[in-house]
Each structure stands twice: as C-alpha cells, then as structure tokens.
Amino acid sequence: MSTINPMDANPLSSLDAWEEDVLLRYPDPEAIAAKSTEDYRNYDDPARDTVKEFYRLNHTYQTYNFVQQKRKEFLQFNKKEMTVWDAFDFLNQLVDDSDPDTDLSQLQHLLQTSEAIRRDGHPDWMVLTGLMHDMGKVLCLFGEPQWAVVGDTFPVGCAYSDKVVYPEFFKANPDFENPVYKTPNGVYEPHCGLRNVDMSWGHDEYVYQMLKDYLPEQGLYMLRYHSFYAWHREGAYDHLLDDHDRDMLKWVTLFNPYDLYSKSPEPPDWKKLRPYYEDLAGKYLPATLKF
C-alpha cells in the first residue's frame, strides 16, 4: 500500500476548484436572479467533497509555527528571478489536468480581472493589481501543497473565528487547544492592526511581500487580503483591526467582485493587450521580479 503524507495531499483537481467553490458561497448578485437557491446547496456534488477535504487539510495544518516556517523559507525570494512576462509563462504551467480545454489559464483569469477593472475606469495601479493578484500561485510550482497556496486565509496565533468556512475542521489543528493561541487576541495586542497579524500562509501574503515596494497601499491591501473572506465578506476579527484597516476595507471590497465575477467565456486577446500591459508594468515594476 502506498502511503501519501497527508500534508502532501492535493485533493483539488486544480487550484481553480477552490475559487469555483467560493463563487458558490458568494454568487454574483447579478446572476442570482436567474438561478434557484437549490443550485447553491448542492452538497452532494463530488467536486464539493474534494473542496471539503482541501479545507480539512488547510485548517488542520496551518498552524502558527507552520506559517513562521514558510515565511522564513519563501520571503527571502532566493528561488528564481524572472521578468514579469516570463513569470506569466511560468504561472501558466499550472493547468487543470482533469480538463485542460475548458479551463481558463491562469493568465486569462488575471487578464479578465484587470480588464474588468480597466473597463470601469479605475486607477491604473488597480489594473496592475488585478493583473498580478494571483501571481503567488507559483508557490504550487515550487512543490507546495494546494492547502498552503490557496483557500480562504485567516489569522493564526489567535482563536479561529467561526466565520471562516468549515470552522469545525480547526478542532484538528494543534493550535486549537494551545493556551496561548486559543484566546481571542492570542499572541496579538487588541486592535494592533492587520499589519501586525500573521495570516495563514498562501498566495496572498507571498505576492504582497513580492510587490510591497511597488504599488500604493490600497493595491497592497487588495493583494494581501483578497482571500480573507471572513474579514471582507463576513466582518469577523474586528478585535484585531485598527482604523487604517477599517479605512482600507473599502478597497479590498471594491476589488473582490473583479476577482470573483469577471470570468467570461471569451479569453482576452493577450497579443492585442500586451503593449498596454508592458507600459503599465514598466511604470510601476522593476524589470525582473524575485521569487
């Protein structure tokens, strides 16, 4: 019998399966009228079982110590150096094995997000934020398991909120009964501000750290907290927020629908768009990015 270390298990058919499930939780308000609520309550769907297993692993293994270890490992950015365009090619190696034809590539999701932001006339740095927001998914290509790359994020080192999806799975996390980590504030001061809070490890924090010197604060909040649904959709963790977080929340909220609801069946024409994005990247980003 083969033994797979549960920490290495990748239950999702692709990383996108997580975001597809988020869409079931937070459906596009404009599309809701067309569908019955039954469509969103189909828990017998086998694809949802894999998402559930994914969250079980995520909530079990994202401990405070695990996050510290990953920060040490990846925030040195000593793995690879690439131009932005080579980085997109690299990211695009992430494909859905089960269905390579119907699934949009990673670049297409990023372009659909950024193009929808551009169409609505938002500032150019926000367009660039849309283009870059999932670049951190390259973590998977460095051998990281899915549960350490995608999924809703949440603070570690303090009590878990029951507003995080599948909160019951936190019972298996060794931090759950830790006397220091199980109090509401845990290792943090009340209202210390999210910048002082360590989030579960994944593509948000990684891309934020990669780009923190190059984008305005509002864009950095969009990068860093776009998967923190318990905060920006559910209003949890108020006891850790400061006024700056409350002020920035509107930007994270502004960004979220572009991430979730910009998927369209027509892939954007990268060849046509490339000159615009080359200028935009040239305006804000260095020639190469460190991974």
Annotate each residue in 111-150 with x if it binds Fe ion (CB under 5 A) or - if it does not, as one string: -----------------------x----------------
Contact region with Fe ion (CB under 5 A), list: 141-149, 164-172, 242-250, 251-259: 251-259
| Contact indicator for 132, 277 with CB cutoff of 8 Å | no
For Fe ion, the closer of residues 104 and 187 by Cβ is 104
For Fe ion, the closer of residues 245 and 259 by Cβ is 259
Q: How far is the CB of 228 from Fe ion (least distance, A)?
A: 11
For Fe ion, the closer of residues 188 and 228 by Cβ is 228
Q: How far is the CB of 173 from Fe ion (least distance, A)?
A: 22
Backbone phi and psi for residue 180, each to the nearest 5 degrees, phi listed first = -80, -40
Q: How far is the CB of 183 from Fe ion (least distance, A)?
A: 30
Annotate each residue in 200-239 with x if it binds Fe ion (CB under 5 A) or - if it does not, as one string: ----------------------------------------
Q: Which residue of 197, 223, 259, 268 would you call a contact of Fe ion, by CB under 5 A?
A: 259
For Fe ion, the closer of residues 181 and 200 by Cβ is 200
**Residue corresponding to tokens 């690439």:** 82
For Fe ion, the closer of residues 122 and 239 by Cβ is 122
Of the candidates 33, 19, 51, which has an alpha carbon nearest to the alpha carbon of residue 262? 19
For Fe ion, the closer of residues 63 and 112 by Cβ is 112
- Work out the angle between the directed axes of helices 84-91 and 106-119 (0-180°, nearest 10): 120
Using CB under 5 A as the binding rule, whether residue 16 contacts Fe ion is answered as: no
| Contact indicator for 170, 77 with CB cutoff of 8 Å | no
Backbone phi and psi for residue 28, each to the nearest 5 degrees, phi listed first = -60, 120
Q: Nearest 5 degrees, angle CA 265-CA 52-CA 50?
A: 60
Count of residues of this chain found to bind Fe ion when the rule CB under 5 A is applied = 2
Cα–Cα dist 52/57, whole Å: 9
What is the residue type of 159? A
How does 242-263 read in b/e, with b if 16+ C-beta sit within 10 Å?
Answer: eeebeebbebbebbbbbbbbbb
DSSP 91: H
Q: For residue 150, give the H/E element and its range.
A: none
Q: How far is the CB of 269 from Fe ion (least distance, A)?
A: 20
Integer-rounded Cα Rg, in Å, for the chain is 19
Q: How far is the CB of 238 from Fe ion (least distance, A)?
A: 23
Q: How far is the CB of 164 from Fe ion (least distance, A)?
A: 16
For Fe ion, the closer of residues 158 and 200 by Cβ is 200
Of the CA atoms within 13 Å of residue 278, those in its CB half-sphere come to: 8
Interface ranges with Fe ion (CB under 5 A): 134, 259
